[in-house]
Structure 1
Amino acid sequence: MSKISKVTLAVTTSLVGLNVPVYAAESAEQTQQNSNDSRFHERIQILGAHDKLRTQGGATSLVSEAELEKFEFDDINKILATVPGVNIREEDGYGLRPNIGFRGATPERSKKISLMEDGVLISPAPYSAPSAYYFPMVSRMTAVEVFKGPAAIKYGPNTVAGALNLVTREVPDVQSTALDIAYGSDQYGKIHAYHGNTNNHFGYLIEGLYTRADGFKNIDFSEQTTGFEKSDVMIKFNYDFSQGKMKNFVELKLAYATEKSNETYLGLTQQDLAVNPFRRYAASQNDQMNWDHDTIQLTHYYEQDAFDITTRIYQHNFSRDWAKVSGFGTNTPSLLDVLINPISEENQSYYQILAGSGDGQFVLGTNDRSYRSQGIQSDLGFSFSFIGLEHKLDAGIRLHQDYINRDHFEETYSMAVGGQVSNLNDKTFTTVNQEKSDAVSVYIQDTISIDALTLTAGVRGEFIDSKYTNGKNELDYLKKDSRIWLPSISAFYKLDEDYGVFAGVHQGYVPSSPQQNDENVEAEKSINYEVGFRFNNNQINGEIVGFFNDYSNLKESCSFSQSSNCQLDADFNGGDVNVLGIEAHIASRVNLTPSLDMPWSLTYSYIQSEFQQSFVSDYPQWGEVSKGDSMPYQPDHSLTLTTGLSANDWAVNLQAKYTGEMQEAAGSGVNLSDHLIDAQTIFDLSASYFISSDQSVYLKVDNLTDEVNVISSRPNGARPGKPRMFVVGYKISL
């Protein structure tokens, strides 16, 4: 292993220690040293280490900095391939707007998970409009953490599925400078650099990332590219007031990010996909997403003896406009209707408009939205002895406010034969409204150690006041108040120093939209159970978990990413649903020779869901549901095998991900009710050569076998995944 890799691995394991499901476990000596690290790491990178075998209940997974560098993935979907229990619906091939769910929860726009950066909610409006059209650039992250089961109770508001935490780079203790440049297929380019230092008590970090690509699709009759440009800049300043054993410092984080992507929801007919999967119809030539995002976060940390407290003040602003083909006007077929049956007498002329082979009119809709998410949160930890038992108490409070302003408008365009497009009229505003939420969240959790048994009991409270205002009709005004307590309890029993079993139960919850004040529309609630086995014997480590989620009410809401055939943000009840499954991750590193290692890991998920009653729903992914039907976009089986060879000055790694077939609707009577996304296996390859201790070159090949696969047919036609992509890069670290 190179010096660079060894240093990265050592730093990463020192922060997370125990349950590292991505490579072999560290030594007992390392673990003891790591237990003395500042507890601040557990507030920023939450998976801290206090013992070799993590004894708190709840399934957790970590993708470390060493693993992130192994494949140089820009796409969070590929990164999460090594995390069990994750279900994903891909969309654009680059992972620009991920759709992530855990344990069968709807993956749509990652709205069912609590999405965080450095332990702070990062979705544009996690209470008012949780669909995450913004997602941080994972190329600048140093770790990705996933929490499921009782482990997620601390990170609401959404506790049904779990939480995902993205960890940014820390201010370095010594002067550090690094540069990563890469070039690849379809004019892909990346420049990533950072510089930081700590001098006496003051430290700083400046980090910038730019990525781009021309895209892998071609638009009929147009030279417009189908790629993207993304930029991200982050600056951190901190000052350390620590004295002796007292740790006391403040940190300011400032970040700004932008994206311009020529992306669309318009897909292809099955017939056109078979002929040329990377074609885009002429009508989509003006489709484009533009957004910018800024963050300001002030953090104070204090630790003395057995007590620590972290307080964060944060504000995130996100604005976006996405212009895209939305239909043909009133009293016309939907885009999906046309693309499912393009040769019918009713649909043929509309299909020709999309393809640029016929004259006619279509509508371009621009969804212009602005978001703000802000608040203050404090998390404290306290260890103490009481009546002969060791306690570790965690508690926190968050005062949070967020809102979304929608200014959606439509414009009519004319299509001429040959793909010439012209604008015919001014803007017509279709949706003008605001949703706003004020929320107070509290949690308290006590972990008690009794010999080999560790018991953890906690409760979370969510108190939400929300309102909806229709900007086109001020009399259309709704208010909603939600109050709920969410308990959890788990137990871990250490069989010996290397093995343990655990079990837990907690209440899941997802609040409903403030726009929905109908008493018949309920919040999503469930009782979630898990039982598992965890091991870490310095040769092999892993976790095997069985889970059962008992929904008393499954709730879904409509978004343009699903369908244009329902009211935006309308909520739908799905009633009783049972979800059960098995998730497993096993990892090790085999020493083939004194200078050659073979790391490997195996990740497997099995998920099965069943509606417990029959009903008819207007939700476009349900339709006429019969008892026993399963939820859409939920593969029964998924499997990822990662292996490689690592020597002193080179490394090669291969990842193979199998995803079972997925249905695109639960019931019958709706579009795509009889359609399946085929099972697929994608191979990704990476290779690195370490020129010296501070320089390396790398090659990566995504989709090695050039598999052509449909990743989704929603909302408007079939769309392919990314074809084979080559990237070469150079790194230098000083």
Structure 2
Amino acid sequence: GKPAAVDIVLQPATLAQEVTIRATAVVGPEAALAATPGAVALIDAATLTQSRVLTVDEALRKAPGVFTRGEEGLGLRPNIGIRGLNPTRSSKVLLLEDGVPVSYAPYGDNASYYHPPVDRFDNIEVVKGSGQVLYGPSTVGGVINYLTPAPPDRSSGAVTVIGGNRDYLNGHARWGTTIGRTGLLFDAMRKQGEGARENTRFGLTDVTGKVLQSIGARQTLSVKANYYGEDSNLTYSGLREAEWQANPRGNPFRNDFVDFRRLGGAITHTVAATSNVVVATNVYGQRFARDWWRQSSNSNQRPNDSADPACGGMANLLTTCGNEGRLRDYVTAGFEPRVRVSSNWMGIRNEMDFGFRGHFENQDRTQRNGETPVSRDGRLVESNERKATAWSGFVQNRFVFGKFGITPGLRLEHVRFERVNRLLNVRGRTDLTQWIPGLGLTYSPSGGTTVFAGVHRGFSPPRAEDVISNTTGGTIELDPEMSWNYEVGVRTRAGRTAALEAAFF
């Protein structure tokens, strides 16, 4: 027969009532909103298609409370903030793709230099309020989950080509089918062009393949793999006021280049053990190589003469002044089983989610200072290895009393950081343990209206480089960033065309 998609929805009415249970969603279908004890935004496929968004920035601006700050005008590395928090490098937000971390070092260095293109997503979930204890780290701001489409029942595909001035080209192709119990999906994209400033040009290729295999009536196995490559002529630096007044679209650093390569994958197995118990297990990994050769890292660095102090200033920027090669290699892997149990006890409906995760990160960080603007080698000034090993456990239970719901939850994070300075032969390690509670309340007087309130602890760990000295290996006393997030609100829907959500936080 046809494949049965078995996924976990984290907030369904009851497990037995679910026809399709999504293992990759944070919120789930719109029907699950009544049980969600916090502010959320769902950006569906129709909205993304009809509004013809070109970048992630344009898509996320459709979610209230989300602010994005562009960097190069092309949407390659959006800086995302929620409810007024600093958006730089999206470090206060947990970014997921199909429930799996997008960031290559969410514990050791949650700075997003890589962001998947919006073209290959068909839904976006934004969780701003309570209910975040099931996820982590970096939940001070909220959780954003990008969902890729499932393979179609029948063979279908689409090709989109968009062009514009400054040599802009965006080509996207998608094809999928289902053969017996096996669903296939292939997605490929090429985006290139010149930026809004002089001496800027970008080009990226993104290819994704997904296989969804139905194993009998109660199990599915999903395998997804992705390749991302970017070669861009982009600088890290902005302009000083005098430079902007002379040429607002100028860029003196024409020899700054980016070379990014990423390979990632995830395997998801889901089994409905009974009509009331579903187990979903994610195994994931990625390798991200981030090389950036540049002559300036900020507007105060004019020019970058660390390799040659006698370069003489901006007049010799393109001839005798050197550059810096910030060469990074990240390897991330993890596994995470989750269990959903639905039951009735003494007339009280219970929906429990629990599980644990093992997450492992390794950073290889090198810096070489070149002697010319186009050097691709030079004097070694940094050689660091940084590791983070994180173990997480979480449990959340929703008690349903008629129209009322109470959802307490608790998460435990234990992180071990390690750092090795290979130039000085210095190493060190330290540990961090943190309990993260949360509580949410809902009241649904009618099918289309939910009143909610909640409080939860936000958690963002320090970077490995901030808690271990680079020169001595000693521990630096630095606590994680913590927050208490409170909110109360209401959401309602009138028919299919009108919806309202208001929240105070």
TM-score normalised per structure 2: 0.89
Amino acid of the structure 2 residue aligned with 1:466: F
Cα separation, partners in 2 of 1:529 and 1:35, compared to 1, 3 Å: same
Match of 1:504 among 454, 465, 476: 454
Q: Within 2, Cα distance between the matches of 1:512 and 1:264? A: 27
1:191 partner letter: G
Which deviates the most, 482-491 or 294-303? Answer: 294-303
Asked if residue 482 in structure 1 is aligned to residue 432 in structure 2, the reply is: yes
Residue of structure 2 equivalent to 1:99: 79
Counterpart AA for 2:76: L
> Quick one: distance in 1 between partners of 2:243 and 2:463?
38
1:138 CA displacement? 1.2
Counterparts of 1:32-71 in structure 2 under 5 Å?
A: 36-40=18-22, 43-49=23-29, 51=31, 54-71=34-51
Any conservation in 2 of the 1:250–1:299 contact (CA below 8 Å)? yes
Alpha-carbon distance in 2 for matches of 1:211, 1:312? 30
1:88 Cα shift?
Answer: 2.9
Give the partner amino acid of 2:70: E
Residue of structure 2 in register with 1:524 after alignment = 481
CA displacement at 1:477 relative to structure 2: 1.2
Rounded to whole Å, the distance in 2 between the matches of 1:138 and 1:456 is 32
Cross-structure match for 1:364: 323
Structure 1: stretches of 5+ with no match in the other structure: 1-14, 20-30, 220-225, 328-333, 340-348, 414-420, 548-734
Give 1:286 deviation, angstroms.
1.3
Aligned 8 A contact 1:122 1:316 in 2: no
**Letter aligned with residue 39 of structure 1:** I
Deviation at 1:308, TM superposition (A): 1.0
- The match for 1:240 is 214
Letter of the structure 2 residue corresponding to residue 336 of structure 1: N
Query: Contact between 2:132 and 2:456, CA under 8 Å: does it hold in 1?
Result: no
Quote the Cα distance in structure 2 between the aligned partners of 1:376 and 1:205: 23
Q: Residue 77 of structure 1: SS of its match in structure 2?
A: helix
Once the two structures are aligned, what percentage of the paired residues are identical?
A: 29
- 1:138 maps onto 2:118 in alignment: yes
1:218 aligns with 2:198: yes
How far 1:50 sits from its partner (Å)? 7.6
Matched, 1:471 2:422: yes
Distance 1:39 1:58 in 2: 21
Describe the SS at the equivalent of 2:216: coil
Please give the alpha-carbon distance, in whole angstroms, between the structure 2 residues aligned to 1:113 and 1:445: 21
User: In structure 2, what is the Cα distance between the partners aligned to 1:405 and 1:210?
Assistant: 29
Deviation (angstroms), 1:151: 2.5
Q: CA deviation at 1:37?
A: 3.0
How many angstroms apart in 2 are the aligned matches of 1:124 and 1:90? Answer: 20
The match for 2:59 is 79
| 2:152–2:178 Cα contact (<8 Å) kept | yes
User: Distance between the aligned counterparts of 2:345 and 2:30, measured in 1?
Assistant: 20
Pairing partner for 1:401 from 360, 375, 380: 360
The separation in 1 between residues aligned to 2:447 and 2:210, in whole angstroms, is 39
RMSD over aligned CA atoms reads 2.5
Aligned match of 2:407: 456
TM-score when scaled to structure 1? 0.62
Matched residues in 2 for 1:273 and 1:443: separation? 50
Contact 2:34-2:450 within 8 A present in 1 as well: no
Query: Cα distance, 1:446 vs. partner?
Result: 0.4
TM-superposed deviation, 1:35: 6.4
Distance 1:269 1:353 in 2: 18
Q: Where does residue 195 of structure 1 map in the other structure?
A: 175
Q: Considering only CA atoms, is the larger Rg found in Structure 1 or Structure 2?
A: 1
Q: Which residue identity does 1:125 align to in structure 2?
A: A
Give me the whole-angstrom Cα distance separating, in 2, the residues matched to 1:422 and 1:233.
Answer: 30
Report what 2:499 is aligned to: 541
How far apart, in 2, do the equivalents of 1:166 and 1:52 lie?
A: 17
Q: Deviations over 1:122-177 (max 9, x none)?
A: 21111122111111111111111111222322110122111111111212221112
Give the 3-state SS of the residue equivalent to 1:218 in structure 2.
coil
1:472–1:103 Cα change, 3 Å: same
Deviations 1:483-504 (A, max 9, x none): 1110100101123333232111
8 A contact 2:67–2:87 mirrored in 1? yes
Q: 2:245 aligns with which of 269, 274, 280?
A: 274
Mapping for residues 576-655 of structure 1, pairs under 5 Å: none
Give the Cα–Cα distance (whole angstroms) in 1 for the partners of residues 362 and 33 of structure 2: 41
> What is the match of residue 323 of structure 1?
293
Distance 1:36-1:337 versus aligned 2 partners, 3 A rule:
closer
- Whether contact under 8 Å (1:56, 1:454) holds in the other structure is no
Cα distance in 1 between the residues matched to 2:415 and 2:377: 39
Q: CA deviation at 1:353?
A: 4.2
Q: Which runs of 5+ in 2 are unaligned?
A: 1-7, 304-311, 469-474
Distance 1:426 1:115 in 2: 34
For 1:205 and 1:370, locate their aligned partners in 2 and report how far apart those are by CA, in whole Å.
29
Q: Measure, in 2, the Cα distance between the counterparts of 1:50 and 1:142.
A: 14
User: How big is the shift at 1:361?
Assistant: 4.4
